[in-house]
Chains A and B, each alone.
Chain A
Amino acid sequence: GIQVEQSPPDLILQEGANSTLRCNFSDSVNNLQWFHQNPWGQLINLFYIPSGTKQNGRLSATTVATERYSLLYISSSQTTDSGVYFCAVLTQGGSEKLVFGKGTKLTVNP
């Protein structure tokens, strides 16, 4: 099946710093979503981005589908950005399910 690799696995930042999280995937996909898992365990959908670039406040994401990767940018990080960020891809073909990466655990220190 499709492989989803996220890097780095852990990231520690000082408040105000910028960061880039990466997601590589091994096959063509119909969909790519970025999620933030908050301290209560909820999966918050950040972006639906099968290709191109989107921005939402301090967050932006870019997916280059032909090269099979996506990037999540966090600018001017805040302590509330802490948590785990997951990339998930929807496979093409008969099996239409989201496959998750292992996540990047982000810690933003004050």
Chain B
Amino acid sequence: EPEVTQTPSHQVTQMGQEVILRCVPISNHLYFYWYRQILGQKVEFLVSFYNNEISEKSEIFDDQFSVERPDGSNFTLKIRSTKLEDSAMYFCASRKSSGANVLTFGAGSRLTVL
């Protein structure tokens, strides 16, 4: 069964450092998402991406965050200057089309900011 692949699985960084989280969505999917889950809390929407541009972003997704699809396969989330409160699990998801409503999630990348 096709999978969404995320790397790294766990990253530890110092406050103020830049972090890039990588995702390889399912190959024929067109819609891409990043979600965040702070430990013990619910899964929150960050951003959606379609046709090489952001479709929607939440209020969490401020100027410190950016997304990019640099080639035909990768979808990245960059945090420019990490804060302690950015420590969370970050999930990438993809969806085939607007008529196919199932989102498939990756295994997540756990970010720890010290």
| Pairing of A with B | yes
Q: Report the contact-size class of chain B (Cβ under 8 Å from the partner).
A: 20 to 34
Interface mask (B23-67 → A, CB under 8 Å = 1, otherwise 0): 000000001010101000111110010000001100000000000
Q: Tell me the dominant secondary structure on chain B's binding face.
A: strand
Nearest CB of B to A94, in Å: 8
> Is A64 close to B, CB under 8 A?
no
Given contacts A41-B89, A41-B110, A42-B108, A90 and B101 within 8 Å (CB-CB): yes
| B55, B103, B110: the one within 8 Å of A98 (CB) | B103
Nearest CB of B to A12, in Å: 17
Nearest CB of A to B33, in Å: 7
Given contacts A31-B101, A48-B102, A100 and B43 within 8 Å (CB-CB): yes
Nearest CB of B to A33, in Å: 7
Nearest A residue (CB) for B99: A30
Interface mask (A67-110 → B, CB under 8 Å = 1, otherwise 0): 00000000000000000001010100001111111110000000
Interface mask (B78-114 → A, CB under 8 Å = 1, otherwise 0): 0000000000010101000010011111011010000
